[in-house]
């Protein structure tokens, strides 16, 4: 049986620097994921960045 330690969201938000800092970090992570997925789509289509823009 797996046991999980209960966590306190408020504590983690405080450690991250507040709600705004957490939202900004989440935004940066989402942008990074989007960029990687775009690169993978370009790779699978055998396109360069310049070719995908035109």
Which pLDDT score is estimated for 37? Answer: 96
Q: Per-residue pLDDT tens for 22-44? A: 999 999 999 999 999 999 999 99
Alpha carbons 41 and 31: distance in angstroms, whole number:
15
Which pLDDT score is estimated for 4? Answer: 87
At residue 16, does pLDDT exceed 80? Answer: yes
Q: Please report whether residue 32 resides in a domain.
A: yes
Q: Which residue range is the domain that position 23 belongs to?
A: 10-53
pTM > 0.85: yes or no:
no
Q: Please report whether residue 1 resides in a domain.
A: no
Q: Please report whether residue 4 resides in a domain.
A: no
Alpha carbons 22 and 41: distance in angstroms, whole number:
29
- Alpha carbon 17 to chain centroid, angstroms: 18
Residue 42: strand, helix, or coil: helix
Residue 47: strand, helix, or coil: coil
Q: Please report whether residue 47 resides in a domain.
A: yes
Q: Please report whether residue 2 resides in a domain.
A: no
Overall number of domains in the chain: 1
């Amino acid at each position: 049986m797996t046991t999980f330690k209960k966590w306190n969201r408020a504590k983690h938000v405080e450690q991250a620097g507040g709600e705004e800092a957490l939202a900004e970090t989440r935004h940066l992570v989402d942008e990074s994921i989007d960029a990687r997925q775009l690169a993978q789509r370009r790779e699978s289509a055998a396109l360069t960045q310049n070719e995908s823009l035109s």
